[in-house]
Structure 1
C-alpha cells in the first residue's frame, strides 16, 4: 500500500480542535490532538484485534493470557499471580479468563510442585497451536494499519510513544 501523502487529511479530532479554537482561541490544544488521536486509534485497533482473535474462538484478553504463557518460554508455565501482574489484571479478572481457557482445553491449572498452596498455569498443545496462529493473524492486522506510514515514520512513532509512555507511566523506575 502507498503511504498517505503529507499533509495528512483532516480527521474528527481536527473538527473538535477547530471548534475549541472558535470558542476558546486562548487554549493550547496540542495535548488534546495527541491524546484524542491515541484514544481513537486504540479503540479502532482494539476492535480490529477482537475481530482477528474471534476467528480463533478467543477474545483479545484471552489471547493475552495465552500469549503471556507462550512468551514465558518452555514449559509455558506461570503462576496465576505472575500472569495477573504481567497483564495488569486483578486476580478475580484473571480467574474468569483462566476458567474459560481451561474449559476450552487451551491451558491447564495444576498444583505447583514447589509450593503445595499454589497453582501453576500451563499452555496445552492445543493452546500453543492456537496462540501461534492467532499471533500471526494479529500481527498482520497491526502491520496493515502501519502501512499508512513509511518504515522510518513507524520507527519514529514507536520511539516517540515509548518516550511519552515513560514520562507518564507511574510504574517506571
Structure 2
C-alpha cells in the first residue's frame, strides 16, 4: 500500500540518509569505517560477545571478526575470554575507544543544534519518536532476515 505522494517520503529518506553519511564522514577523526563505528557504538552499552554483535548489526561473524581485529589493533576495543565459554571473547570498549566516541559525539552536537534551530520542541519530539519507531522496525527486519 503506497501512502506517500510522488516519492516524497522516499526522496526525503534518501536525502536524509545522504546527509547523515556526509556528517558521519566529516566527524570521523580516526578515519574508521562505518562498520567499525557501528561496532564501537554498539559496545557503548556494555561488553558483549561477538555472536550477539553480529546479530545486532546484521553482519556475518567473519566480517565482524575482521573488523574486531582491526579495532583491537588500533586500541579501540579490548577482548577477554568469557567466564562462561572460554572459546568466546567478551568484547568491550577500551578507554581509547570511549574517548574516540566522545570526540565524535561532540561533533554530532552540530547536527542536533541544526535540528533545534529548524524544528519546534513538538516537532523535535515527533521526529525523535518517528525515527525511533522506524529504527526499531528496521532492526527487527534485519534480525528476521538472518
- Secondary structure of the equivalent of 2:80? strand
Tell me the secondary structure at the aligned position of residue 90 of structure 2: strand
Q: Per the alignment, in what secondary structure is the counterpart of residue 171 of structure 1?
A: helix
Structure 1 equivalent of residue 48 of structure 2: 78
Cα deviation code 1:72-124 (max 9, x no counterpart)? 2xxxx210111122222222221222121111011122321220221221221
- What is aligned with 1:61? 35
State how far apart, in whole Å, the 2-side matches of 1:78 and 1:169 are: 21
Structure 2 spans left out of the alignment, 5+ residues: 142-146
Task: Identify which of 107, 111, 115 aligns with 2:85.
Answer: 115
Q: 2:66 aligns with which of 90, 93, 96?
A: 96
Is the Cα contact below 8 Å between 2:36 and 2:67 reproduced in 1? Answer: yes
If the length of structure 2 is used for normalisation, what is the TM-score? 0.78
Picking from 124, 127, 148, the partner of 2:94 is: 124
Q: Normalized against structure 1, the TM-score is what? A: 0.67
C-alpha spacing 1:152/1:68, structure 2 compared with 1 (3 Å): same
* Gapped regions of structure 1 (runs ≥ 5): 1-26
When the two chains are superposed, the root-mean-square deviation of aligned CA atoms in Å is: 2.7
Larger Rg, first or second structure (1 or 2):
1
SS in 2 for 1:114: coil
